[in-house]
Amino acid sequence: MIENFEFHNPTRIIFGKGTLPQIGPAIKARGCQRVLLLAGSGSIQKNGVYEAVCQGLKEAGVQWVELWGVRPNPVLSKVREAIELARNNQVEAILAVGGGSVLDSAKVVAAGFYLEDVWEVFERRAAIERALPLFTVLTLSATGSEMNCAAVLTNETGRKKWAVVHPGLFPVASVIDPSVQMSLPWTQTVNGGMDALAHIMEYYFLGRTEEVTIALDEALMRTVIRVVDLLQKDPTDYDSRANLAWSATLALNGISGVALKGGDWATHQIEHGLSACYPEVAHGMGLGILFPAWIQYLQSCNRPQFQRWAREVWNGDSVEAGIANMKATLTRWGAPTSLRQLGITKPELKTIAANACMVGLLGQLKPLALADVESILELAW
């Protein structure tokens, strides 16, 4: 029987070309006058995003303080610095301008503002009770963070890349202007597309009779593949940028997982182990390598659904054909399909597995123990 579910996603999305300045009025509409603007390493100063956002803030009469330097695979120390700054300046909201790393960091800042030690929440020793209102301007579609209430952060000290989920972390409003993504390096476009595919797959393989969600997920996966192919031909194709951006948002805003029991997430946890040990590995790239291995290892647990995936998404008449077509697509996009290609040696797999399994058994379709994870990593190697 299809499981009972709740669906509630209050985030307001402002989407399209030239929409960046609208973040100002959106913040003002919520009654916030002073925000912390959190950003990455400066690319938004080169592509005009920063300027357009500042213009919107000024016109709406919103004041701000800035903190730069959030990096991919964002870390706790930077978040602590931001919380300190937010408190010292008595800001009323957080504004994230960047990709998933900046957005996730901003979520943790918004919650951490009211907590003694926000990492305690990740350790499940404390709970979020409230958070500052959060606003985002998205510059890289991938994580779906702009329309969900989850955040992933790395505690460098313990090499722990963990997630936190709380309804208070939904952004109040998010602005997505796909045209600012036209100048992205190709690998980032591919990694973003792969991240979106992975989010859908984390839910999809738990599907049995949830026909609406299953069919929507297939439509989304096919769309992602189709538009990434189009972007390989023309990275400045606005409509494909827009379709990829909206697909990535829907891939993890709840819609793709309705009634699918919260999703599996083992592959994500293995990837978090991977990039906790090798922070230079991009999240989407790691997922592209790990997912085919996870599928190969788990396919007997819900075979009809894996076969359906192969047929409906990859035009393959068997799970093996589906996996092969997925790998061929990644190769066509210039993405690696094995851990070996990343320069990781076989003995290192045990370290990654141990890191991933720090939190216990992984996943839901079949809860994976350390030996399972090692086997999957070997398949991915």
Of 118 and 221, CB closest to a copy of itself: 221
User: Under rule CB under 8 A, which residues in 231-260 are in contact with a copy of itself?
Assistant: 238-239, 242-243, 246-247, 250, 255, 258-259
Give me the helix-helix angle, 370-380 and 266-277, nearest 10°: 70
Our CB check for a copy of itself shows the closer of 185 and 304 to be 304
Phi, psi (deg, nearest 5) at residue 35? -130, 160
By CB under 8 A, residue 189 contacts a copy of itself: no
Angle between helices 319-332 and 303-314 (to 10 degrees): 40
Whole-number Cα distances in Å, 334 to 141, 186, 187, 326: 19, 9, 8, 13
Beta strands across the sheet bearing 134-138: 63-67, 34-39, 93-98, 134-138, 173-176
Is there binding between residue 19 and a copy of itself (CB under 8 A)?
yes
Smallest gap, in angstroms, from Cβ of residue 67 to a copy of itself? 28
Q: How far apart are CA 71 and CA 324, in angstroms?
A: 33
Chain positions 26 to 55 lying near a copy of itself, rule: CB under 8 A, are: none
Tell me if 371 contacts a copy of itself by CB under 8 A. Answer: no
In degrees, to the nearest 5, what angle opens at C-alpha 88 toward C-alphas 82 and 90? Answer: 95
Site pattern 196..215 for a copy of itself (x: CB under 8 A): -------------xxxxx-x
Minimum Å distance from CB 233 to a copy of itself? 15
Instruction: State which residue, 101 or 249, has the beta carbon closest to a copy of itself.
Output: 249
**Contacts by 31-34, CB closer than 8 A, 24 or more apart:** 31/92, 32/62, 32/92, 32/93, 32/133, 33/61, 33/62, 33/63, 33/92, 34/62, 34/63, 34/64, 34/65, 34/89, 34/90, 34/91, 34/92, 34/93
CA distance 375 to 115: 39
Could you tell me if 146 and 174 are in contact, meaning their C-beta atoms sit under 8 angstroms apart? Answer: yes
Residue closer to a copy of itself (CB basis): 4 or 345: 4
x-or-dash string of contact with a copy of itself, 48-87, rule CB under 8 A: ----------------------------------------
Binding window for a copy of itself (CB under 8 A); candidates: 15-23, 300-308, 314-322, 328-336: 15-23
Shortest distance (Å) from residue 29 CB to a copy of itself: 12
Residue in the block written with tokens 């997912």: 291
- If the CB atoms of residues 73 and 223 are measured against a copy of itself, the closer one turns out to be 223
Count of positions on this chain that bind a copy of itself (CB under 8 A): 43
Closest contact distance (angstroms) between CB of 223 and a copy of itself is: 5
Contact residues toward a copy of itself (CB under 8 A) are 1-19, 209-213, 215-216, 218-220, 222-223, 226-227, 238-239, 242-243, 246-247, 250, 255, 258-259
